Amino acid sequence: MASHGIKDQVAIIGMGCTQFKEHWDRSTDDLLIDAVTDTLASAGVEKDQVDAWWLGTAQSGMSGVTLAAPLKLQNKPVTRVENYCATGSEALRQACYAVASGAYDIAAAVGVEKVKDSGYQGLNAFPIPTDGTQRTLTAAGMFSLVAPAYADKYGIDPNELRRTLARIASKNHSNGAKNERAQFRREMSVDSICAMPAVAGMLSVFDCAGVADGAAAAIVVRAADAYKYTDKPIFVKALAMVAGNGSGLADPEFDYTHFDECEAAGKDAYAQAGITNPRTELAMAEVHDCFTPTELVLMEDLGFSARGEAWKDVEAGAFDLHGDLPINTDGGLKSFGHPVGASGLRMLFECWLQLRHEAPEERQIDTADRGLALTHNLGGYPGDMVSFVGIWGNRLG
């Protein structure tokens, strides 16, 4: 009984990512066709060469037909997967295992979400019939519970924490301003973010991820075959996933200052990849900054900061673009919005660019000494979530 991982058995040889924005003129089909076309071109393979497909979408379609129909695939297996906000990463995880198992030579993972056709701001879950006793709070409301709990536990003045959270948003806005695929490309100062009215707890809309449509995709092959397609493959080092049991909602021991699922997924991923000190071994990380307190707490859950210290590291600039460990170099969910099925693959796309030294100069980080990147998703609410952690590297070993 163990999580063995598939370190260095599988590699990514091509990726594509649409612009993330309010694609009023693009349907789910259009976004899928655009992302897949770019990805196939990036890998240098034809559509028919892909043996099996995994489609991640939370709410934009059901079944593999959602992908097979617009792409006119010919007798290929396509599986639609959903795992809350980790949906895109989950599609990739399945594609990687399929190749590692030897079942297929080439597999594709595609993620898409068409959020902006609902007519409402924010993400909207489709209703599953229930007994009517479920919470009605927004995700912003649920994650806003983290800020006062964190401030209280570590004795931080709430106004000071307010500025720390704004600094996280400001950093991600700054990175996103350097990214042509991002939804929001405007720098935001800490002062201007702090001046915004609160909508949930102490959070303003600038503490929340944007809402956008988008798609992204990746082609995976066996590591041994990778150099046939590209001289700069990205190797899969770790794929970890935890579905929480929701006990945080019922257990008075849970104090809203950490996400156990993320910590567990991170530990599993580090074991798979052979990482002992993520803060110094990773070149960068793309984490699920759905709300600013989420990114703060994740720095501790993922082992980048000691417990109770993340706010100081944030203030010290440790996670800035050219800091100690750059976080969300592409601008994160903050700048990209969160098309649920696509986000995990969008994060990987940034690692793909950075680890191959193909990011635009203004946001390219140094990956010569450190060739490892981490992507992280979570979905659900504090105490009741799923979490994915993937680790990727630009060299074997």
Partner 1 sequence: MRGIISAAGYLPHWRLQRDAITQVLGSSAGKGQRSVASYDEDSLTMAVDAGRRALGAAASANPAALWFCTTSPTYAEKTNATIAHAALRLGPEVIAADAGSGLRGPAAALRSALHSTDPAVLVLTGDVRTGPAGSVDEKDGGDAGAAVLVGAASADSGVAVIAEYLGGASATREFLDRWRSPGEARTRSWEDRFGEQRYGDLAAQAWEAGLKDAGLQLDQLDKVALVGPRPRASAALAKKLGAAGVEVIDSLASSVGFTGAAHPLLMLTSLIEQSQPGQVIALLAMADGADVFFFRVTDQVSGDSGTAAGVTVADQLDDADNTLLYSKYLAWRGVLPVQPPNRPEPARMSAAAAERRLDWKYGFVGSKDHESGALHLPPARVSFEGGNIDDMEPAPMADVAATVATFTVDSLAYSPSPPVVFAVCDFVGGGRLPVELTDVRPADVTIGMTVEMTFRRLNTADEIANYFWKARPVRGQGTAPVRGQHTEREQLEKTEQD
Q: According to CB under 8 A, which one of 152, 225, 281, 309 is a site residue for partner 1? A: 152
Between 124 and 276, whose beta carbon lies closer to partner 1? 124
CB 179 within 8 A of CB 185: yes
Options 17, 23, 85, 376, the catalytic residue: 85
Reported as type and span, the H/E element at residue 94 is: helix 87-100
Residue 102 binding partner 1, by CB under 8 A: no
The C-alpha atoms of residue 132 and residue 334 are separated, in whole angstroms, by 32
Q: Is 17 an annotated catalytic residue?
A: no
Between 77 and 148, whose beta carbon lies closer to partner 1? 148
Q: Could you tell me the smallest distance in angstroms from the CB atom of residue 85 to partner 1? A: 18
CB 265 within 8 A of CB 389: yes
Q: According to CB under 8 A, which one of 74, 102, 120, 369 is a site residue for partner 1? A: 120
Q: Could you tell me the smallest distance in angstroms from the CB atom of residue 379 to partner 1? A: 18
Q: Is 351 an annotated catalytic residue?
A: no
Residue 240: name the closest of 343, 90, 389 by CA: 389
The C-alpha atoms of residue 349 and residue 345 are separated, in whole angstroms, by 6
Between 176 and 201, whose beta carbon lies closer to partner 1? 201
**Crossing angle, helix 146-154 and helix 292-301, to 10 degrees?**
50
Residue 31: name the closest of 232, 293, 213 by CA: 213
Q: Which 254-293 positions form the footprint of partner 1 (CB under 8 A)?
A: 254-256
The C-alpha atoms of residue 363 and residue 107 are separated, in whole angstroms, by 30
Between 204 and 329, whose beta carbon lies closer to partner 1? 204
Q: Could you tell me the smallest distance in angstroms from the CB atom of residue 205 to partner 1? A: 9
Between 184 and 256, whose beta carbon lies closer to partner 1? 256
Between 201 and 339, whose beta carbon lies closer to partner 1? 201
Which class for 4: exposed (0-12), middle (13-18), buried (19 or more C-beta within 10 A)?
exposed
Contact pattern from residue 174 through residue 203 relative to partner 1, giving x for each residue in contact according to CB under 8 A and a dash for the rest: ------------------------xxxx--
The C-alpha atoms of residue 373 and residue 15 are separated, in whole angstroms, by 16
Reported as type and span, the H/E element at residue 238 is: strand 234-243
> At 175, phi and psi to the nearest 5?
-65, -40
The C-alpha atoms of residue 84 and residue 81 are separated, in whole angstroms, by 10
Residue 132 binding partner 1, by CB under 8 A: yes
Only segment of 27-35, 114-122, 228-236, 326-334 that touches partner 1 (CB under 8 A): 114-122
Q: Are β-strands 234-243 and 10-17 bridged in parallel, bridged antiparallel, or unpaired?
A: antiparallel
Q: According to CB under 8 A, which one of 9, 37, 51, 149 is a site residue for partner 1? A: 149
Residues that bind partner 1 (CB under 8 A): 118, 120-122, 124, 127, 129-133, 135-138, 140-142, 144-145, 148-149, 152, 198-201, 245-247, 249-252, 254-256, 383
What residues act catalytically? Answer: 85, 338
